[in-house]
Amino acid sequence: MTEIAAGAFITFEGGEGAGKSTQVQRLAAHLRVRTNRPVVVTREPGGSPKAEAIRDALLAGIAKPHGPFAEALLFSAARIDHLDTLIRPALARGETVLCDRFADSTRAYQGAAGGLDPELVTSLERVVVGPTRPALTLILDLDPVVGLARAAGRSDGAPDRFEAEALDFHARLRAAFRAIAEAEPERCALVDAGAAPDAVAAEIRAIVAARLPTLLRKAGDDAA
Ligand code: T5A
């Protein structure tokens, strides 16, 4: 009998310009070569056609005047479609899903930094995410002054709705992500995102190897 190794749901979190997109791509390339298995790379808000449309509205700041609860509801609406149409089907096929931001971003941006009641954030997350929780969350930790400078250097236009927030908002975000890592050490790993990209990628590979060793089994090694 052939046992098909299951993939894993891995999320990347952190402040603006921490290097999440860069490291999602790096880990995906590593896993594809190492395991010869499909790896789905996706992001939030977005990742499905309907969620990408909501992303455009959110990053343009359309919901900002309605406050953090309205924004959290829109991020949640996008997440529900993303989970239903992309993440859960991929996981059901045994594929690995690497997601650039997920529910911890709602906790940090709309909750801790935005001022939304933490109990409301928790209830929303329970309803929206249900059992589809990440096996591993890599939290890229970086001084927001450095992260915002990186984001500004890469950006081809004006700062988006969240990049444009004041520095103390971004300092609260960093503290919130660090607190999540501390509160859930089995799921989360804090990564020093101030190092060079190669060093950050190496640290992430080491964390994945230590936390999810079966994920690194090569296709074809499954025959019992
Ligand atoms: N949001 C999202 C919420 O408020 N609530 C939610 O529930 C969710 C899901 C999304 C926004 O939505 C908010 C959070 C965000 O504000 P986005 O455009 O997807 O907007 O923003 P980010 O996820 O922050 O993406 P960024 O592209 O700004 O940052 P990344 O992905 O962390 O960084 P990356 O990899 O693009 O790198 C940025 C630049 O730095 C360089 C890269 O080459 C690039 O130029 N870089 C490095 N430079 C030096 N050293 C390194 N180690 C580097 N790594 C990358």
Summarize pLDDT for 11-25 with one digit per residue, the tens. Answer: 999 999 999 999 999
Q: Tell me how long the chain is.
A: 224
Please name the residue whose Cα sits nearest to atom 4 of ligand 1: 109
- pLDDT of residue 91 exceeding 60, the answer is yes
Query: In what order do the strands lie in the sheet containing 136-141?
Result: 39-43, 96-100, 9-14, 136-141, 188-192
Taking CB atoms within 8 Å and a gap of at least 24, the contacts of 195-198 are 197/19, 197/22, 197/23, 197/26
This prediction has a pTM of: 0.96
**Ligand 1 pocket residues where CB is under 6 Å:** 14, 16-22, 44-45, 59, 75, 100-101, 105-106, 109-110, 150-151, 153-154, 162, 196-197, 200
Confidence of residue 54 (pLDDT cuts 50, 70, 90): very high
Confidence of residue 2 (pLDDT cuts 50, 70, 90): very low
DSSP-derived pairing of the beta strands 96-100 and 9-14? parallel
Confidence of residue 4 (pLDDT cuts 50, 70, 90): low
Confidence of residue 6 (pLDDT cuts 50, 70, 90): confident
Please name the residue whose Cα sits nearest to atom 21 of ligand 1: 16
Please name the residue whose Cα sits nearest to atom 49 of ligand 1: 196
Average of per-residue pLDDT values in the chain: 94
Mean pLDDT score, 29-50: 97
- pLDDT of residue 176 exceeding 60, the answer is yes
Mean pLDDT score, 143-151: 96
Taking CB atoms within 8 Å and a gap of at least 24, the contacts of 182-187 are 184/137, 187/133, 187/134, 187/135, 187/136, 187/137
d(CA 171, CA 175): 6
Q: Which amino acid is at 117?
A: D
CATH fold for the domain made of 9-216: Rossmann fold (3.40.50)
Residue whose C-alpha is closest to residue 134's, from 47, 8, 5: 8
The region that residue 140 occupies, defined by phi over 0 for left and psi between -120 and 50 for alpha, beta otherwise, is beta
Mutate which of 16, 161, 173 for ligand 1? The one with the most ligand atoms within 8 Å of its CB, which is 16
Helix (H, G, I), strand (E, B) or coil at 173: helix
The pLDDT value recorded for residue 202 is 98
d(CA 97, CA 145): 30
Mutate which of 12, 13, 22 for ligand 1? The one with the most ligand atoms within 8 Å of its CB, which is 22
